Structure 1
């Protein structure tokens, strides 16, 4: 079984799903620079131009309250939306997902990209490592 973890975290977790059933392989779609040398990862580039810097600054300003964060989440400057655009534009993603059996959103900013990838690739997806572990245990049991 091939599991693809989609994450915007700065580093790939060592064992995101704990002890895995035999035959489960984990691959990553990430922005983590430390994954560049790995064969089991595709590192996408978030925009770092004027739009990216502006998004980061506005994001920092809007972290004060729930209403402000909701406004940011609905805007194209949101980190999750920028991550999805970067993933969508990367030509390596579709071949990387061709034999995936499960997609896992590793963090909040990866949820939208994971959902969109699951729709495109017709692959089941879950949000979070705990849900992925439960899904894998359920598949292993029956």
Structure 2
């Protein structure tokens, strides 16, 4: 039993270090450079949206989108085989504010966007779940 507590503390330390490393890997390039991907919280995401400088991009499936979207969102499913082609219709001079359900697929999409010439990409940490936790507005798509 006396060995259990030190092992537990070591495990806790290792897990917290991994979480910190994951948070750091979500930041790809500093914001003041020409191109970057930045993972941000819902409040910052909403403030950037309201600035009018960018495009909000939802990369969820149509079934997920049917549950509600962030207002003024463009929708391009990351699983669509034509995803890379469809994003080419977006203006590259605009900032892109990308989200999914939890933030994982939107980070994948952010990397694809960056590799296709989009310089300023913001990923919503926690996705639409975090958005809803903050009680920000959701639009229900017309069926």
Q: TM-score, normalised by structure 1?
A: 0.38
Looking at CA atoms only, which structure, 1 or 2, has the larger radius of gyration?
2
